[in-house]
Structure 1
Amino acid sequence: MESLLFKFIPFFKVLSAFALMLAGIRFRLGIGLSILIGGFAMGLMFGMGPVSFAQTGGMALMQEKFLFLAAIVGLILVLSDAMERSGQSRRLMGALSGYLTSPRLRLVFFPALIGLLPMPGGAIFSAPMVKTVSEDMCVRNSDRAVVNYWFRHVWELFWPLYPGLILIVGLADIPIIDFISKSWPGTLVMLLAGWFFFLRPGVLGAKDLMSQPVTGERNRGAVFKEGLPLLIAIVGAIGLETAISAFAPGMSFEWGVIVALGGGVGCVMAQNSQLGFQFLRTVLVGKSVRSMLFVIVAVFVFKDVMQAAGVVEEMARVAGGDAALFASAMFLPFLVGMVSGISVAFVGATFPLLLGVLNMLGMQDQVVPYLVLALFAGFTGVMISPIHICFILTCQYFECDMARTWRKLVAPCGILLLSGIGLFFFLR
């Protein structure tokens, strides 16, 4: 018995470090600082001193991958903020409103559209639109809240602008198109689960959805004009990534993403000349950009500290690697996601460990299936988290009971997790 407990000591050390991270997140020390605290504690427990920790962290921030990722996330936040502050997001929604004839489609469209622009608390941006389009429908506020919350996040397992996905492919060093070509079923599952649990006739009847017919004009030119920055960013990023992989394999594919995002930002600035360069300065030094970049700093420091301290080797040795893989791919991402309520947190805290263990076990050919499994598990934790900022803000806006609304999320989140497990076995 003692020898068995001794064998699992490395696993207990790692769990202790993660407990510190979760405590830091819970007490609102910030995700970046919490990850750094957990990484420092982990280094100490595995024999790494403060000086070695500082040296390893300094080297981590000189890596090309870190610089690329920081630039990409910064540009994504600038693009999102520019479209929001200029009113272009709202104009895009207005241009699209004439195409929305189905009451159910009108309920879900604006949350899903806002979901294409990753922004903290984005559900509060779409909540007023859900309220407006459903004013003459007999729909409970708790139903409005859960529809707004769920469909705001349906793209997060697939859409290449989400920082969590950018961070995953950056850590794994794989093109984003290769990863989302495997994770896309998650978006389909969320759409189907959302319809079944929140929108199907047995839940919302035809009488509940009686509303005035849509009278807005259909203007394709306006839709194209207002959506052009998104088209440039998304289509350009995927197209340039593909071109680089095909014609310049020695070149980092991140350059394609950076050029496309820069083009999207430039398009917004050109279409909204009133923003000016002062806007760029305000966004770049703003809290949202600084906090997100600090999270990326913490993730890269944490990743290299684990490697330098021998954490990965010890975890791979435990129980032949099976227990470590299970904890890394299922339990830990779900737990961190549920406690933090944000995808970047569970990716940054748990994926470096998972990738390290897979490499040590010589399972490089299984990297994508395990990453997909961990993504589904972690994101399920995020969606079921009662401290998810989008969930809190949505419930506050619609003035509905949080506990009653939260219970409506349990079943679809269970389906999401099960689909991730099924997809894992399929990809293997």
Structure 2
Amino acid sequence: MKKLRRASIQKQILILATLLVILVSAIAMFSEPFIYGRSDRDFQDGLFAGQAAMVLDRFKAAASTLEEDAALNFASRFGIRAERLSSTNLVAMREKIISSGDLVGKIKESLSSSVLISIEHLLTDEPNSDRLVVKVDAERALIFHMPVFPARIWFAPAVASGLLKIVVPLFLLGLVSSWLITDPLRRFAATAKRASLDDSSDEAFEPDGALELRSLAESLNVMRSRIQNMLQDRTRVLSAVGHDLRTPLTRLHMRAERSEEPELRRLMLADIATLTLMVDECLAYFKDPSAGEDFRKVDLSSLLQTIATDFSETGVNVTYSGPRRLAHACRPQALTRALSNLIDNASRYATQIAITLKPRDDGGVQIRVIDNGPGLTDELKAKVLEPFFKADESRKIGRKGGFGLGLPIAKGIVMKGHNGQFTLMDAEPNGLIVAIDLPAA
């Protein structure tokens, strides 16, 4: 069975198709004799014709009314509806009367279409049967009511046979196919969904299942390793470039300070400060701010209050609401960086910012950064989390602008550094809510 699970998909499908044919044939071979042998219409028709002939012979031999009644009672024990034809109706129905020798042939001819009649009678409660008038002698005749075979004689066996030969094998085939093909594909898709370009986890695609899936998993593992190596090389190159840029920026800053023209010195220092900030922000994005910092338990309430106080002292209206003390394990420096980015970003568009803290029942915490700004559309909510995207392209770089890295850096700190959730929601009546959900460490 393990060899079958690890075979190619083409071989698995061929084997499963062969097993299906064998299974259907085996079930049909053992089930049909019991299903159709008991409900064969020819057998039922012949049985009814023979019983009707016996009743006719016994009625013909009757010498009195009591003996005729006994013959009719004998017919009722077989489930045959038979009745005398009165002498007044005998003349009126003379053209429809058949001879006793034609009884068996006429019964079979009348019942030959009973399947179609039974299909029609599926929707009726009291189907009307055909009648045969048989001549007993010159003064007597019998009326035989043709039976209407119930649906269970032909319909129910067909349904049961279909269930046994088709539905049951297909169900079993579906279970085996799910175990062989679907389950490995589902696990593979889940692993691929968790993977991303900035994924630094060591979880690899498990080479399990069919030959093609194992080959694909190995190829994706190689590709993933190459991508991670490329990202690491990119980070190292950008870190080296950023480090090397700091030296000429420092020299430019010193030379600008010695400038004798105040206005030129001011402009040059402003440009140098902007360049320095751009280098710092880019390096912070390309390199995980959480790297190198361990989890430790801190008073999260005091941390958030300190952040709110620091911004309030610079003129930004930031308030905090939540418990007075709440211990939680996190990376405090990285989390401070994330919340500072969020508040700094919100301060460009809003006049009031609120930080809320709430513990969760599972040991995690909920942090909300709420502002009263214009908010974001659903389309912009996805785009602002992309690096270097600015919702208002008309804003220039500076205090009222930005590089489009504040939200992506905060998202990376929350999701990668703390395994948390980072969501943008609408505030009421206007504004934006940045929802941060941190799990229990």
TM-score, normalization by structure 1: 0.23
Identify, as 1 or 2, the structure richer in helix.
1
Identify, as 1 or 2, the structure richer in strand.
2
Determine which structure has more spread, i.e. the larger CA radius of gyration.
Answer: 2
TM-score, normalization by structure 2: 0.23
